[in-house]
Structure 1
């Protein structure tokens, strides 16, 4: 059975939306220094090495494609290309970034089935609209939050309205400015 990991870049006040400012908000993702960005990339690559599959929403899948991940070079890009990708979408997706399987229909049923079929870690990048029902329906097993030292003030938050118990299982400084917090989600 697969272990569903939600991996998010997040501000101190819980914002996950538009980290690069592409949709009109203030960019917080790009405000860290080069050394911190390199340390972040190392942590993300290590996570990808451990992953068995990627799960994402259509917008996040498109985001990766639009940023050239299909043609990037290097170990991290190669690893992400090689991983099976599952995309929650009601329409077909451009699969120019390696094999992508569309999960259409009821997201809870589709992801429950995916967890039964995939062995190992299923990592969810971004996908704010997708992660909320995964948390609400107790499908997520773990949260990995890369916390950026900024307060965005506005923007979509990660967590649903319902209270969900979690247990801190790991903390780590990434570079000099970022914190990686890992929580086990305990269910209802």
Structure 2
């Protein structure tokens, strides 16, 4: 059975909006602005994660974002991302932009549940806030890996929105990435 792993760069106050600064958000660009000297350590963390992944899961906008960058960036991480099978959740997309991708056009919860049955290993979700919220709401996320950047923005879209109930998690690993980033791994706390 597959394991849904959400991997996300977030600010200390949980903001995930416009890390690159390309989206027009007034506090956008925080990823590079607050990365400091930690890029190499962060890149090593990301490469290790993709080497352990069996597939990627994302929404339509993430498919477009990554597909554009995958043709101009190079390196082991990008090469691995390009080779992985990708599943794009969308009700409107006919043909995904990124290589080696399949559209999951049906009802999200059912499609992702089937995907978890079909893929053995980690199915990593990058940069897909609406999808992550849906997956969390329906208890489909097995693990959260958050790389926390040392900044409080005070505004912007956060990774988590309102949920119908509490979602208990258990901290299973922490580490410092470089000199200024914190990486925390949580698993879903299952009740007896």
The TM-score normalised by the length of structure 2 is 0.92
For 1:122, the equivalent position in structure 2 comes to 123
Which residue pairs with 2:177 in the alignment? 174
Structure 2 Cα separation of the partners of residues 79 and 33 of structure 1:
23
Q: Distance in 2 between matches of 1:20 and 1:71?
A: 16
Query: Alpha-carbon deviations, 1:81-126, whole Å to 9, x = none?
Result: 110000001212344x321000012100000000000000000001
Equivalences for residues 121-160 of structure 1 within 5 A: 121-160=122-161
Cα 1:106/1:171, change in 2 over 3 Å: same
CA change 1:181–1:114 in 2 (3 A) is same
1:61 Cα deviation after fit:
1.0
Q: Distance in 2 between matches of 1:93 and 1:168?
A: 38
For residues 33 and 113 of structure 1, do their structure 2 counterparts lie closer, same or farther at Cα, with a shift above 3 Å needed? closer
For 2:84 and 2:103, how far apart are their aligned partners in 1? Answer: 14
Corresponding residue of 1:12: 12
Q: Distance in 2 between matches of 1:128 and 1:186?
A: 21
Q: Unaligned regions of 5+ residues in structure 1, if any?
A: none
Other-structure match for 2:45: 43
Structure 1 distance, partners of 2:152, 2:162, is: 20
Does structure 1 retain, via aligned residues, the 8 Å contact 2:88–2:96? no
Superposed CA RMSD: 1.4
Distance in 1 (CA, whole Å) between partners of 2:20 and 2:114 is: 33
Q: Give the paired residue count.
A: 186
Q: Distance in 2 between matches of 1:124 and 1:143?
A: 10
CA contact (8 A) 2:35 2:149 kept: no
> Which residue is equivalent to 2:111?
110
- Whether the aligned pair in 2 keeps the contact of 1:135 and 1:160 (CA below 8 Å) is no
Question: Please, which of 14, 31, 34 is the counterpart of residue 33 of structure 2?
Answer: 31
